[in-house]
Amino acid sequence: MVAQNVVFGILAAVMILAAWRVVTTQNVVRAVLYLVVVLAGAGAQYLLLAQEFIFVVQVIVYIGAIVVLFLFGTMLTRAPIGRDVNLDNDQRWLAALTSLFLLGVLIAVLTNAFNDTHVKPTIQRTSDVANSMFGPYLIPFEVVSVLLLAALVGAIAIARRD
């Protein structure tokens, strides 16, 4: 349990630092690459909670596909490679105030609700996920696949040059 807490602390520190760099760095490509660090850290947290399948999906879909999409978006919009001082707008302090207020509210509520609640993860096998997804959650699964198809067709229709 101590080792798990140490690993959690290291991962959480790295994730928060990288997330902070995602929203503050003045370089678009670096921001996307810092996002990779956050996503990989989240995957490691899933592994720490003994949920293996979601870790694999996180690596394949997020780090493999979504980050590549972001890099393509960066390239297609001809973002300046290198420093760009105009990546932030002028409501930075208001935004910081809003998010700090939200953080305060969330931490107060969570402390109130889940103080001293312990997690004892048991390994959740991939076969359990499959049985659940193709059993009770079959209809949401089919709906999500139709939604994904619609989103892909929509993306092609929007971005097509005609």
Partner 1 sequence: MLLNQFLFLAAVLFCIGVYGVLARRNAVLVLASIELMLNAVNINLVAFGAYRHNIAGQVFALFVITIAAAEVGVGLAIVVLIFRNRASIALDEADLMKG
Please list every residue from 57 through 116 that binds partner 1, using CB under 8 A. 57-58, 61-62, 65-66, 69-70, 72-74, 76-79, 84, 86-89, 91-92, 94-96, 98-100, 102-103, 106-107, 110-111, 114-116
Is residue 16 within the footprint of partner 1 (CB under 8 A)? Answer: yes
Minimum CB distance to partner 1 smaller for 82 or for 154: 154
Q: Are 41 and 22 contacting, i.e. CB atoms less than 8 angstroms apart?
A: no
Q: Are 44 and 11 contacting, i.e. CB atoms less than 8 angstroms apart?
A: yes
Is residue 40 within the footprint of partner 1 (CB under 8 A)? Answer: no
Is residue 3 within the footprint of partner 1 (CB under 8 A)? Answer: no
In the complex, least distance from residue 66 CB atom to partner 1, rounded to whole angstroms: 5
The token pair at 30 is 């670096």
- Spacing of C-alpha 160 from chain mean position: 28
* CA separation for the pair 146, 149 (Å, rounded): 5
In the complex, least distance from residue 73 CB atom to partner 1, rounded to whole angstroms: 4
Q: Are 124 and 51 contacting, i.e. CB atoms less than 8 angstroms apart?
A: yes
